[in-house]
Chains A and B, each alone.
Chain A
Amino acid sequence: MLARRFYEVWVLGGLSKGEAEEIKRCLSEAVMRRAERLRIRIYNKNSEDLSYLDELKGILLENVSLSIVVESRDVGKLVDDLESHEGEITFIIGPSFQLPDKARFQGKLRIIEVRG
């Protein structure tokens, strides 16, 4: 299952209400596009911090239509992951975070910036 195609939503920075709302919108979009799976990947400085699951809880518990995978990755791995990933990514950037080398990845990213 994990090797199959996912609707990718990556988040840079922590997850607060703003980012969670965007993820909810992405989930609706994925359903409308008849996607079967959604991957939510959180890039954090502290990958052991689970507070993002608290913000995602409502979304995860209300979803019944798509398979969802939630991953947490160290922010230091972001550039390598962007380089190696094929396919489109919806990229949510929290306030006071910036995507390094933004221009390099513009082609594969749909960027959503969340204002504080």
Chain B
Amino acid sequence: MSPRPVDIVLTTDRSMMSNHHGKEFLGFMTTGPAIGMPESLWMWIACPKMKTDPLGRPWQAPYALRKLEALLQDKGYNAAVIDPDHVNRYLGSARILMLSHHDYFALCPPSSEWWIVTRKEPTNAKSFRKFMDSLDLRRAKENGLKVIVGGPAAWQWLYKLDLWGRWGIDTVIDGEGEHVVLDLVDKVYNGEPLPRYVFVGPRDVPAIEEIPLIKHASINGLVEIMRGCPRGCKFCSVTLRPLRHMPLGMIEKEISVNVKEGVRSGILHSEDVLLYGCRGLKLNPDALIKLHQVARRHLESIAWSHASLAAIKNAEEEYGLISRLREVICADGTQEYWGVEVGIETGSVRLAKKIMPAKAAPYPAEKWPEVVEDAFAIMHENNIIPAATLILGLPEETSDDLMDTAELIDRLKPYRSLIVPMFFVPMGVLKNKEWFTEVKLKDEHIEVMRICLWHTVRWAEDIIDRFYLKRPHLVPLKYSLKMFLGYVKMKAKSYEKKLGLRPIETEAVLATH
């Protein structure tokens, strides 16, 4: 059956166009190369294909693509998100191909880190390259197709200029695209030349009333509750954008879109969920309770994308808010836990003051390690399972900083969590094709990474046994993951023996529940 033409095709590769078996965290496996199993099995675990309709439109799609799809449809354009396996059907007649990705070429952490450690290209970059090479772009470009790329990893295209010609990239957009995308589409339709690169600065971001509502389901029900962040950490570009809180009505409508299309779980997305409705850094408990009550009304399960450790500690200490939110989220027993990403970044007070002085606020930066530990304890007591990140290899980092970080991670042993170190890669290093061979790990880095690995593996096994993948149809996946963890432990022990390293105590002190 010949499909009705789609003028503007929005898509991405399989590593992104997947709901990861309904488990968002499994998507992180696409940031690594296949380890201990064939790549096809790795991809099945990490990013299986979802169902599509006869036109090749996927059940769920990345939220950013859904936003642009809605924006373009609202303006009357014939635009649709299309599954990567179906894109070629439309390329012959499409006017514009729009692409988005978290990490096109595996240059962001944690992909870059796994590349440094394994010397193998991660699956997300391989998958994207394979996808682009599969497209019949030459013929489509002859027919006038324009290719516009964006997303949070748009900057990476500046390191891959050779691929612009190979894949016919016309324009790269870096930043919030709601305004400029419409300008570019106008130019295409008017036969005007396109700019090669656009960075959307803070004064050109859309106001809330200019942000469209999604019309179709997002991956695992992700909906944004706010944009921007007031903390000003040096390593983060999001903080430079104006803070905007999405009205509750808007959030509820988007949740309803997801539920109507059969996605009954939801991820509340923000750089810091607990800052929803905040005034400066002062939390707004009423707004947060209402938000979660609304979400709970519609959803079977709720997760948070990100929260700051300082806000978690402050929320519980000042308002008892984490416990109150747990009552809402886990009401009626359908949900036992929820996940969130958090940033530890460093255990060094010296580094914390230098690169992220406001991350501990309202607590002083000197108290950062205590903030981290207290927040982990609060999360453990409330069945919040954090996936925490560290930053290693910062330019001003010293061996003492790394020792402080190692000591902090050690104090976090009793708390159910995954801790993943991310490696800072300077811009200049990325210029070279073999850049990952240039990043040298110090002994102290290896020690921190080892502590993190054993902590994470130990708690991952506990999480899988107690909380994760309980439904019968997910049993094969559960056992594949357990086999993978077993393989990781075996390999880690063998490397430690080879390097003459003392095994790390893996029997964490367990809490009473």
Contacts and interface: CB of A to CB of B under 8 A. Distances in A.
A53 B158 contact: yes
A103 interface: no
Interface in A54-106: 54, 57-58, 60-61, 63-73
B202 interface: yes
Nearest to B157: A53
Contacts of A58: 427
A2 interface: yes
Interface residues of A, number: 26
Nearest to A39: B195
Nearest to B158: A57
B196 A64 contact: no
Q: State the main secondary structure of chain A at its contact with B.
A: mixed
B201 A68 contact: yes
Given A1-B179, A3-B183, A71 B195 contact: yes
Nearest to B169: A50
Contact of A70 (B184, B196, B204): B196
A7 B199 CA distance: 14
A57 B237 CA distance: 17
A58 B180 CA distance: 23
13 contacts: A1-B180, A2-B184, A2-B195, A36-B201, A36-B204, A50-B196, A53-B158, A63-B199, A64-B201, A64-B240, A67-B201, A67-B204, A70-B196
Interface in B427-485: 427
B204 A53 contact: no
Contacts of B330: none
Interface string B192-234: 0101111111111000000000000000000000000000000
A63 to B, nearest CB: 7
B195 A60 contact: no
Contact of A37 (B175, B184, B201): B201
Given A36-B203, A36-B204, A58-B427, A53 B161 contact: yes
B38 interface: no
B155 interface: yes
Interface of B: 155, 158-159, 161, 164-165, 175, 179-180, 183-184, 187, 193, 195-204, 237, 240, 427
Contacts of B161: 50-51, 53-54
Contacts, number: 75
Interface in A5-55: 36-37, 48, 50-51, 53-54
A69 B198 contact: yes
A49 B199 CA distance: 20
A90 B199 CA distance: 20
A60 B158 contact: yes
Contact of B165 (A2, A50, A61, A63): A50
Contact of B200 (A1, A54, A57): A1
Q: State the main secondary structure of chain B at its contact with A.
A: helix
A67 B165 contact: no
Contacts of A63: 199, 201
Contacts of B165: 48, 50
B76 to A, nearest CB: 19
A51 B164 CA distance: 11
A57 B427 CA distance: 10
Contact of B201 (A3, A66, A72): A66
A106 B232 CA distance: 43
Given A2-B184, A64-B240, 14 more contacts: A2-B180, A36-B203, A37-B201, A48-B165, A53-B158, A54-B161, A57-B159, A61-B427, A63-B199, A64-B202, A67-B203, A68-B201, A69-B198, A70-B198
B183 A50 contact: no
B180 A53 contact: no
A72 B199 contact: no
B225 to A, nearest CB: 24
A58 B202 CA distance: 19
B183 A2 contact: yes
A48 B164 CA distance: 10
Nearest 10 Cβ contacts at the A-B interface: A67-B201, A70-B197, A2-B183, A1-B179, A68-B199, A36-B203, A67-B204, A71-B195, A57-B158, A50-B161
A60 B183 contact: no
B196 A37 contact: no
Given A67-B204, A69-B195, A71-B196, A50 B164 contact: yes
B5 to A, nearest CB: 27
Contacts of B427: 58, 61
Q: Which of A36, A50, A65, A66 has the most CB of B within 10 A?
A: A50
Nearest to B237: A64
A70 B154 CA distance: 14
A34 to B, nearest CB: 10
Contacts of B175: 67
Nearest to A1: B179
A44 to B, nearest CB: 11
A11 to B, nearest CB: 13
B183 A72 contact: no
Contact of B199 (A50, A60, A71, A73): A60
A43 B127 CA distance: 36
B269 to A, nearest CB: 22
A27 to B, nearest CB: 11
A53 B179 CA distance: 23
A1 B201 CA distance: 10
A31 B315 CA distance: 38
A61 B158 contact: yes
